[in-house]
Structure 1
Amino acid sequence: MNARQWTAQWIWGGTEESPRNEWRCFRKVFELPEEVLEEAWLHIAADSRYVLYVNGEQVGRGPVRSWREEQFYDSYEVGHLLQAGESNVIAVHVLHFGVTNFYYIRGRGGLLAELEYGVKSAGGTAVESNLMMRVGSDDTWVTSRLQAQNPNSPRMSCQQGFADIYDARQWDERWVTVKYREDGPDSTWEPSQVIGPPGVDPWKRLVPRDIPFLTEEKIYPSRLMSLRRVQAPAWSAVLDLRAAMMPDSVFHANPVSFVGYLAGELVLKEAGQVTFGFPAGWRTENMWVDGRLCSDWYGESPERYCTLELTAGEHFVLIDVTSWDHGGGFHLAAHAEVPMEWRSPAGEGTQPDGPPLVIIGPFDAAVHIDHQDPQPMKRDHPEYLKAAGATKFKELQDLAGWIRPLPASLYSEEDVFGANVWTVEAEPYSIPSQLEHAILPIPEPGVLPLFDNGASDCEIVVDVGRETSGFIGFEVEAEAGTVIDVYGFEYMRDDYRQHTYGLDNTIRYVCRQGRQRYLSPVRRGFRYMVLTVRKAAAPVKLHELYVNQSTYPVTNTGAFQCSDPLLNEIWNISRHTTRLCMEDTFVDCPSYEQVFWVGDSRNEALVNYYVFGSLDIVKRCLNLVPGSKDMSPLYIDQVPSGWSSVIPNWTFFWSIACLEYVEHTNDKDFAVKIWPAVQYTLEHYLQKLNGDGLLDMRGWNLLDWAPIDQPNEGIVTHQNLLLVLALNKAAELARIAGEETEVIERMLRAGEILSLAINAHLWEERQQAYLDCIHADGRRSDIFSMQTQVLAYLTAVATGERKEIIGEYLLKPKATFVQIGSPFMSFFYYEALVDAGRYDQMLNDIRHNYGQMLRYDATTCWEMYPNFSENRANPDQLTRSHCHAWSAAPGYFLGQGILGVKRADPGWTRVLIEPQPCDLDWARGSVPLPQGGRIDVSWSVDGDIMNVRVAAPSSIELEVRVPDGMREQVTLVGNG
C-alpha cells in the first residue's frame, strides 16, 4: 500500500477553498457487476476530518492528525458491504475546520477517496490484479453543504475545532443510503469540483495510516443525578473576538493581543432591571451603559455579573474587550423581565439580520509566539482613550475608520455553554421512576416533564459512571422545533458543578417531527452530561442516551493487585486515564485540549509499556515531532500544531523517549532513522549556551504548574539539568544507531561540560541547594524548589556530598522550598526515589496524593493536586482537568518498582524481577512484552521468607532478587 497508484482526484465543493467550520457531504452511486466480488478496499483521506459510509453503514472515521505536507490516508476492507449486480453508494461526511488549531494546520477543504475491487468470472477465474476495477473521487461525485449544520457554531477551545449546532429539519438523514434521491426540487447537491491529483498542494505526499483504527464502543450512563426546571437568560451570544479583531489569525494558533471595544444598542420596551453577564469570564472591568461605568460586579470567578436599573428606550452599551487571546469563544449575556432587543448601533448600512454588535478597533494588536505575556497591550492610543465612556454611539463618529460590523460568521446566539453556566432560574424536582428509563438500554423510553407548557426548560444531569472520551448520541421522540442541548463536564459534588471554562463542550440539536437519532461527529471528553429540553410543545420521549467511546485499541495485558485496596484502585484509575488519553496519538486530556503534547507523551509511553504494551502509537508520536523543524529547529511542544511554541524540556523529554523506545523494543532501525533528528535539535540547543557554558534562552521554560522561578528568558536550572540528561541519552542512541565515535564523544563531552557549569554557577552554598534560575538581567533567584533538586539528583549532576544533601531533601523536603505541584512532576520525583531505593517513600506519596483524588470520586488521574496554583481562586475546583495522562505515574511505578519487573537488556531478552514489598503482604500482576506475550509475577511475604512465582516465555532470561535480609522461594514457569 505504501507505493499505491491513485486514479482518484482531490475534490471539494462550494465557493470557498477553506470555509470556516463547514460540514460537507459527498456521494457516489455506482453499479457493480454481477460477478462474485473478490476483496474490496476503500482508501480515503480528507481535510480536515471525515466519517465514511458504504451503503448506509458507517465504516470509519479519520484521518489521523498529520503535518500538512504529509497527509495520512486510511484503507478499509469493505467487500462485505457491497452488493454485486446492484447499485451501491459511497457517502462521506467531511468536517473542514477552516482555522488552524493545536492539532491541525489550515490547508483547504478536500476529499480523496478510491474504491478498488476485483471480481471472479462466472467460471470462478480471478481477474488479474492489474485489472482491478476502481471508483475514484472526481467530478462525477456530487456534493452539498450539510444544510442542518450551523457553521457559526462556537469554537470549542483554542486547541480544538467547533461545537455542533444541528437543525434536523433542514436535512434528510437518508443521504448515506443508495435509495436517497439527490435531484429533488429544492436540491442543494451539485457536481464536485476537482482540485487535482494526489500530490497537489497542500497535500504534497500521501502516506498510509501508521496505527490501528480506534475503537467505538457503546457506553450507557450509570445513573440519573438530578432533574430541574431551569431558565436561561433572555439573551446570550458567543463571539470569536480573536478572528474578528485579527482576521489573519485563522492561519496560525499563536496567541494574539488587541486593544478595542464591542458596542451595541439595547432597547427596552419599558423600564426595568437588566443584568449583564459574562458567564465564561470577562476581559476587563470596563463596561459602560450610556456612559455609566458598571462597577458593582459579582459572581464566582471567572463569571461576572452586573445589575442596573434602566429606563424604557435605547441604551448604548460599550465593552472594553482589550485582552490577550489564544482563541475560543467570548460569551456575553443579558437578562431582564421586561421585553428587550439588541440592535446594531451603526443603524443604516448594517445587515438587517446581522449581529447587533460592532467592533471598534483594534487600536493596537500583536501576535505572540512565546507563552502568554501578561502585559502585551498598549492602552495609550488616543482614539482608544477617546472612546472610553461614550454615552452615545454618535459620539464616536470621529472614529468611523475604526468601526466595523462584527462578521456574521463569528457570531451566534446559540450559546449552549452560556445558558448552562448562567441559569436565571433553577428549581430542583424529585426524579420520577419512569424517567430512569431514559438512561437504560430498554425499549421503554423515559419521558421528560414539560414545565409551564414549554415556557421553562427541563434539565437532567446524568453520570456516565466514569470519565469517557468519544461521540455523544441520543434517540428522542419530539415535536418539530424542540431544542435538545447537551453539555459535557467532568466534575460535580453536591450542588457544585465544575464548568468547563475555556471549553465549549456542547451540542445543540433542533428536532424534526417524530422519532429521530443523532450521533455527534465531534469527539468530546467528560463524565457528566447535562441534557436540557427547550422550546418543547409536548413532553419529549428519550429512548436512548449514550457515548460511543473511542480510544486506541488496547487489551488489558498489564495487571496489578496487592494487599492494599487503595493502591489497587489507584492503579486502575491510572490505567483508565492512560487509555482515554490514547487516541491517534497520546493526548494530554480528552476534554479541554485533545492535544499531543510532546513532553507529556514521554511519561505516558512508559506507563503504556506497563499497562498495555502498545508500540505503534509510541513510534508514531516520536516520528511526528521532527515535522516541526520548519517552524523551529528546537521543535515545538505540541504537534502537529499551528502554535509555534517551544518548551525546551519537552524537546529533551522527546529525545530521551526516543532512546527509551529503542531500549524497550530493541528496534535498531528506528534508532538509525530518528537519530539525525535528535542530533539536529540538540546541536541547535548547544548553540544557545552562553559564555559560562549554560543554556540561556527565551522560550516557554516550563516544568511544573507550581510557583517555581522559571522565567521565559534567562538561565533556568531545571532545563539545563535536563539538557545534560538529554545529551547523555543521545550519546547512547547514537551508539545504537551506529554513529561515529567522534559524534558520540562530542555529545558526552557537551553533557559533561554543561554539568560542570551547572555546579559552578547554579549551586547556592548558603542554601545548600541549586537555585531555580538566573534572570536575564543577571539577578540570581532567591527561590529554591523541590523540582530543581529532584532533577539535580535524577540527572546525576549532583554528585558526592551534594548528592547526599539532595538525597535527604527527597525524604524530608525543606518547608521553604516550593513543593511539587502536579502528578507530572511527581513522576520524576518517583524516579529519583527509585534510584535512591526509597520505595516506601514513593508508596506513601502515591497513597497520599492519589488517595485525595479517590476521596473525591475520581475515576481518572487529575492534572494537578487539589487547590494548587491556578485552582486557588475557587476552593471547590480541585484541579482543572480531571483526566490527564501525564499524571498516571502509578501505572508504571507499581509494576516496575513494587511488583519489581524491570527490563535488564534491550528488547526485554533479559528481565530482572526485584520485588519491593515495603509494608505490603503480597502483590501480583502482569507486564506486557514488546515481542508479544507477558510476564506474570506474584509474590508474598511470610516472616523473612519471600515466595516469588514468575511465568514468562522460555526465550527470556530471568533473574530474581529479593530484598536484603529475606530468604527467597522462587518458582519459574514457562508461559509460551
Structure 2
Amino acid sequence: MTLTTWQASWIWGEGEESPRNEWRCFRKSFKVPAGEEGSKGISLRITADSRYVLFVNGTRIGRGPVRSWPFELAYDTYEIGHLLQPGEMNTVAMLVNHFGVSTFYYLRGRGGLLAEVNDSEGHVLAATDATWSTSLHRGHHTRASRASCQQAFAEYVDASLWDSAWTQQAYDAADWTNSVVLGPVGMEPWTALKPRDIPMLTEETIWPVRVESLAKIKSFQVTATIDVRNAWMDGSEEHANRMQFLGYAATLIHSTQAGQATLGFLQSDGCFKALSLNGEWIDSGRIYGSTPERYVDVTLQAGDNLLLIDLSSDIHTGKLQIGLYADEGNVVSFQSPVANRDGQASDWLRIGPFDAVELLDHQHVRELEVEHPVYLEVREKLRKSADIHRFQDWIKPVDIKYVSEVDVFALSVWRKENIRYVVPAQLQNAVIPHAEAAVVPVFEGYDTEVLFDLGKEYSGYLTFEVEADEGVVLDWYGFEYMSGEYRQDMFGLDHTLRYVCQTGRQRYETPIRRGFRYIALTVRGALKPIKLYSVNMIQSNYPVAEVGQFTCSDELLNDIWEISRHTTKLCMEDTFVDCPAYEQVFWVGDSRNEALVSNYLYGVQDILKRCLRLVPGSKHQTPLFADQVPSGWSSVIPNWTFFWAIACTEYYEQTGDEAFAAEMYGHIQFTLQHYLDKIDDRGLFDIKGWNLLDWSPIDQPNDGVVSHQNMFLVHTLRVGARMARISGDQEGATTLDKAAQDLETAVNEHLWDNEKMAYIDCIHADGRRSDVLSMQTQVVASLTGVARGDRKAIIDSYLLSPPSHFVQIGSPFMSFFYYEALAKLGEVGRVLSDIRHHYGTMIRHGATTCWEQYPNFLENRANPDMLTRSHCHAWSSAPAYFLGREVLGVRSLAPGWTEIEVAPVPSGLTWAKGSVPHPAGGRIDVDWTVNESSQTMELHISYPKGIVVHANIPAGYTGIIRETMLELL
C-alpha cells in the first residue's frame, strides 16, 4: 500500500529553532496487535532535518534522508514488521543530527522530525506528536570542530555520559521530556514531501588488512579550534558562500613558568595573516613550515602572555586551528583577557570584524576597507591586556559554542616525539574477524598510536569495540594516502572522532560518513593497556551489481580498470559525489562523466535520474543553475550547467525515456534562455562567474569571454535543440539551432588566431586578447564541432601531437574530454597510451582509487610529496568507460540501446574480454583474440534477444564472429 497522506506532525525539542550541531534523541512505544498477522505489513515513514538514524526495538535499520531541497524534502519508508513483537509494546527510536549551518549538501532549515507507523491497512499505530519522548544526546559534544565548508562537523562523544541502551524497548526514559509540536506536514521550510526515489544504500563490513604501525607519541599540550566564520560574521550560518573580512582574535597564554614554546597553526582556509605576542609582531621569517601548517617558536613569560592574531582573510570554512607545546614541566592554557560573567563566553575575544564582504559568483561585491582606521590602530596599539579597553566598542567575547573543546586533528598530525615500535603479532588480532582481543600497550608519559590499513579506500561508517576504563580517550583520524614515512594529512577536512570510554567492554558505531584508507587510533590517558576487539568500516554506497567486467592482455590496463571501477562505486551515494572524503558533494559537472562510466560498469539509472532532477531546484538561487546541489553555496560554473544539459540528453540516449526528456527539456530551455541573455555585442558569451574547466594554468578568467565555455555552449544549444525535437517543440528547436550557429560563427570570427593557427583561451574583460594557447581549448574546439574544415585538420593534428608551448592537460577530468575527442578521430591507441602513462603513474604510487589531479599540478608545487589533493575522485574514472566502449568496442546506436555495434579496436592488445550492462537488463559479453602475424581476429559476443547487433572485425583484420542471443524471461 502506498500512503500519500500523513497524520504525523513535525516535532522537535525545547530550545533554539536551528541549534548548532545538535544530536537529539526521540522514542515512542506502541502496542502491536496480537496474533501471527499482528505485525505483518507494518511500515514506518520518516524524514528529518538534517539527518536521522532509525532503530526499531534496539536494531538499527536505516539512515537518511537522502539529500534534497528543503522545499521538496525526501522521506523514507521501511518495512518493520519482522522486528516487532505481536501483542507487546514495541519501541521506535531516532537519533537526529541537526547541523544548524549550511553546507555544500544541505541548506539550513530548522530542527525537525516527522515519522509515522502504519499497519497494512494504513491505520496509524504511532505518529510524531507531543507524546513522543525526547532528550538531547548527553554524550555528544556540540562544540566539535567544523569538518569543512562542504560538510558539517567532526565528532566528540563521551560514552560515560549516555546510556547506549536508549534505543531498547526496556529503557527507562522517565527523565526525558515530551516533544514540541512544530506544525503539520506542509509547514515551512518543508513545504512539500517526496518519497525516496532510489534504493537504500548498501552496508558491507570491511576489516583492515593489517596494523601498519605502532608508536608512542607526544603532541600539543593545548589545542583549540575556533569557527571564525560563524563567530565573527553574524548570520553566516545561513549560507556557505565565500567571505572576506578584517578582524583579530585575542587570548592570553597562561604559563606557570617562563620558557620556550611552539605555536602551531594547522588550518588550510586562511584565518592566519599575522600574530603578535606581548605586543611584538612576529616577523614572518620566524614562521616555518609550509602552508597549510605553520609553526613559530616563542618565549613565554611566567603568567599571562597576550596573543593577538590577525585573522583577516578570504574564507569558506573559516577556522582557526591552533596548538601549543611548552617545555617539559610547564603548564600552559588559554585564558580570556576579560572576565567571563555568564559562563557562555570562551577564552577568546573577537575584535571586529571591521569590514566583511560576501563573495557572489566568485566576484567581489566591493573591495574590503583594508585601511580601516580602527583595524590599523589595533595592530599598532594593542600591546597588553590593559589596552583592550581602548577598543571595547569592537570587542566581544567569542561565544563558547564556536570554540571546540579540543582540536583532535591538530593532535593527530603534529608530533613533538614519534617513536615507532615493531607491531607485535597479538596486535594484528585487531584486523582478524573473531580473533582474540588485541592488547594496545600504554607508555608512561606518552600517548599510543595504532595505525590501521584497510587495503584500499572505503566510504561509510567507522565502528569499533574496545574494553577500557572510564575516561580513556580514543582519538580516531582517517586519511587517504601514505608512502613510507610520508603521510598526506588531510588539511581542510576534519573527519576526526574523539570517543571517551565508559568502564568495560563497549561498541560504538558513528552516524557520520567518512572516507579513508588509513585510520589512526591514538589512546590517551590510559593507565593500563586497553583491549581492542574490532575495528571496522561499514562500506555504504548505491546498490549495484558488478555487471561490467574487463580484462585484457595488458595487466597494467587491468589494474587501471579496477581502480576506476572501485572509485566510481565509492562515489555513488544518494547521488554521484565528487569524492568520499574531502567533500561528498554532488558536483553537477562531475556527475556527467561519472554517469557515463557507471553506464559501462553497473547500468543503473535511478541515481542519475535523481541527480538530473535535483539541478533545476537551484533556480531559486540562480537561473543559470548552481554547480553543486542542493547547496548553501550559490555558485555557478557555466560548463557544469552545460554538462548537466548534455547528461540529460545522454540519459535519453541510454534509456530511450522520452517522457523524462520532455521533463528535462523545459528546464534546459529555461536556463539556456538566461545564458543567451549573456551574449554580448560581438555575439560571444561573456560572463562573470567561475569559468572553470581544468586545474591548469589556462587563461580562464572569472570575467570575460572564455573560449572553452563558448564552445561548450554551442554544443549545449544543439543538445537543447535535440531535446526540443524529442519533446515536439519544433519552434524551440529552430531557435536553439540558430543560436548555436550564430555563436559558432562568432567564436570562429573572434577567438581564432590566424598567426598562431589555434584558438586563443579568452578575451579579457578589458578587451585584451589572451596570448595563452592551451590543449584544453583545442580539445573542446574539436570535440564540440566548432572547428571545421582546415581549422579542424589543424586542431586535430595538435591532439595527435600536443605542441610543447601549449598548456597541457592537468587533470583526469579534462582527459575524459581529450579521450572523447581522440576516440572520435579513431585514435584509440593514443587513448590507451595516455591512460597507461597517467594512470600507470597512479598505480606505481600504490593507488587503489583514481586521483583528482595529476602529480605536481600547480597547487602541489610547494610540496613535491603531495601527488594529488584527493586520492579518490570519480571525475577521474575515465578508463573504465573507454576500455569498455573502445577496446571491447560496445557502443549504442539507438536510444535505449535497441541497436548496438560491437567493433573492437585492439590497439596492440592480443586479447580482451568483458561485459557491458544493457540498460533494459542483461549484458553484452565480448571476448576477442587477435593473431597479429596473420592479422586475424576471433570475436565472440552474447547479448539479450531483441536488440539489433552490428558486429565488425576491425579494418585490416579478417576473422570469425560468433554470436549468442540470450532468451528473455
TM over 0.5: yes
The Cα shift of 1:377 comes to 3.6
Question: Which aligned pairs between 1:559-578 and structure 2 lie closer than 5 A?
Answer: 559-578=549-568
Correspondence for 2:11? 11
Q: Does 1:392 align with 2:380?
A: no
Q: How many equivalent residue pairs?
A: 958
Residue aligned with 1:594, SS:
coil
Q: Deviations over 1:736-791 (max 9, x none)?
A: 1122x221111111111100000000001111100000000001111110000000
Query: Could you tell me whether the CA contact under 8 Å between 2:358 and 2:365 is conserved in 1?
Result: no
Residue 588 to residue 838, structure 1, CA distance change in 2 (3 Å):
same
Correspondence for 1:407? 399
The Cα shift of 1:341 comes to 3.7
Query: Could you tell me whether the CA contact under 8 Å between 1:635 and 1:646 is conserved in 2?
Result: yes
Correspondence for 1:243? 230
Residue aligned with 2:518, SS:
strand
The Cα shift of 1:352 comes to 5.1
Residue aligned with 2:47, SS:
strand
Q: Deviations over 1:344-394 (max 9, x none)?
A: 443224455742110100001011122377995432111111111532122
Q: Aligned to 1:150, which of 134, 141, 144?
A: 141
Cα distance in 1 for residues equivalent to 2:393 and 2:517: 48
Q: Does 1:763 align with 2:752?
A: yes
The runs of 5 or more residues in structure 1 that have no matched partner are 119-128
Residue aligned with 1:935, SS:
strand
Q: Aligned to 2:320, which of 330, 338, 343?
A: 330
The Cα shift of 1:301 comes to 2.8
Q: Aligned to 1:899, which of 888, 895, 909?
A: 888
Residue aligned with 2:41, SS:
strand
Cα distance in 1 for residues equivalent to 2:384 and 2:493: 35
Q: Does 1:495 align with 2:495?
A: no
> 1:621 is matched by which residue type in structure 2?
C
Query: Could you tell me whether the CA contact under 8 Å between 2:851 and 2:870 is conserved in 1?
Result: yes
Correspondence for 1:913? 902
Cα distance in 2 for residues equivalent to 1:615 and 1:533: 45
Q: Does 1:259 align with 2:246?
A: yes
Correspondence for 1:126? none
Q: Deviations over 1:434-472 (max 9, x none)?
A: 1111121124111111101xx310001111010100000
Question: Which aligned pairs between 1:646-661 and structure 2 lie closer than 5 A?
Answer: 646-661=636-651
The Cα shift of 1:855 comes to 0.5
Correspondence for 1:301? 291
> 2:55 is matched by which residue type in structure 1?
Y
Q: Aligned to 1:533, which of 506, 523, 535?
A: 523
Q: Aligned to 1:456, which of 426, 441, 446?
A: 446
Correspondence for 2:798? 809
Cα distance in 1 for residues equivalent to 2:230 and 2:401: 10
Q: Deviations over 1:173-227 (max 9, x none)?
A: 10101010011xxx3x100011111111111011100000000110000111111
> 1:959 is matched by which residue type in structure 2?
H
Correspondence for 1:679? 669
The runs of 5 or more residues in structure 2 that have no matched partner are none
Q: Deviations over 1:584-623 (max 9, x none)?
A: 0000000000000000000000000000111000000000
Question: Which aligned pairs between 1:543-692 and structure 2 lie closer than 5 A?
Answer: 543-692=533-682
Residue 734 to residue 3, structure 1, CA distance change in 2 (3 Å):
farther
Cα distance in 2 for residues equivalent to 1:300 and 1:207: 48
Query: Could you tell me whether the CA contact under 8 Å between 2:479 and 2:489 is conserved in 1?
Result: yes
Q: Deviations over 1:118-147 (max 9, x none)?
A: 4xxxxxxxxxx36x3431111111000100
Q: Deviations over 1:898-936 (max 9, x none)?
A: 110000111011111110001000111101011111000
Cα distance in 2 for residues equivalent to 1:725 and 1:293: 55
Correspondence for 1:202? 189
Question: Which aligned pairs between 1:362-373 and structure 2 lie closer than 5 A?
Answer: 362-371=353-362
Correspondence for 1:432? 424
Correspondence for 2:103? 101
TM-score with structure 1 length normalisation? 0.97
Query: Could you tell me whether the CA contact under 8 Å between 1:342 and 1:356 is conserved in 2?
Result: no
What is the aligned-residue RMSD (CA, Å)? 1.3
Cα distance in 2 for residues equivalent to 1:616 and 1:756: 38
Cα distance in 1 for residues equivalent to 2:178 and 2:744: 65
Query: Could you tell me whether the CA contact under 8 Å between 1:221 and 1:439 is conserved in 2?
Result: yes
> 1:172 is matched by which residue type in structure 2?
D
Correspondence for 1:125? none
The Cα shift of 1:302 comes to 1.7
Residue aligned with 1:958, SS:
strand
Query: Could you tell me whether the CA contact under 8 Å between 1:263 and 1:318 is conserved in 2?
Result: yes
> 1:402 is matched by which residue type in structure 2?
W
> 1:903 is matched by which residue type in structure 2?
S
Residue aligned with 1:388, SS:
helix
Residue 79 to residue 352, structure 1, CA distance change in 2 (3 Å):
closer
Cα distance in 1 for residues equivalent to 2:659 and 2:480: 42
The Cα shift of 1:309 comes to 2.2
Query: Could you tell me whether the CA contact under 8 Å between 1:862 and 1:882 is conserved in 2?
Result: yes
Cα distance in 2 for residues equivalent to 1:743 and 1:568: 46
Residue aligned with 2:861, SS:
helix
Correspondence for 1:508? 498
The Cα shift of 1:45 comes to 0.6
The Cα shift of 1:946 comes to 1.2
Residue aligned with 1:27, SS:
strand
Among the aligned pairs, what percent are the same residue? 52
Q: Does 1:292 align with 2:280?
A: yes
Cα distance in 1 for residues equivalent to 2:334 and 2:950: 78
Q: Does 1:941 align with 2:930?
A: yes
Correspondence for 1:85? 87
Correspondence for 1:124? none
Query: Could you tell me whether the CA contact under 8 Å between 2:357 and 2:366 is conserved in 1?
Result: no
Question: Which aligned pairs between 1:833-844 and structure 2 lie closer than 5 A?
Answer: 833-844=822-833
Cα distance in 1 for residues equivalent to 2:434 and 2:339: 57
Residue 285 to residue 687, structure 1, CA distance change in 2 (3 Å):
closer
Query: Could you tell me whether the CA contact under 8 Å between 2:229 and 2:315 is conserved in 1?
Result: yes
Cα distance in 1 for residues equivalent to 2:897 and 2:118: 41
The Cα shift of 1:102 comes to 0.4
Q: Aligned to 2:259, which of 258, 266, 272?
A: 272
Residue 723 to residue 28, structure 1, CA distance change in 2 (3 Å):
same
The Cα shift of 1:313 comes to 2.5
Residue 375 to residue 237, structure 1, CA distance change in 2 (3 Å):
farther
Residue 231 to residue 351, structure 1, CA distance change in 2 (3 Å):
farther
Residue aligned with 2:482, SS:
strand
Query: Could you tell me whether the CA contact under 8 Å between 1:704 and 1:821 is conserved in 2?
Result: yes
> 1:243 is matched by which residue type in structure 2?
N
Cα distance in 2 for residues equivalent to 1:949 and 1:526: 40
> 1:929 is matched by which residue type in structure 2?
H
**Bigger mean CA deviation after superposition, 286-295 or 723-732:** 286-295
Residue aligned with 1:641, SS:
coil
**Bigger mean CA deviation after superposition, 397-406 or 632-641:** 397-406
Residue aligned with 1:873, SS:
coil
Question: Which aligned pairs between 1:879-894 and structure 2 lie closer than 5 A?
Answer: 879-894=868-883
Q: Aligned to 1:466, which of 453, 456, 473?
A: 456
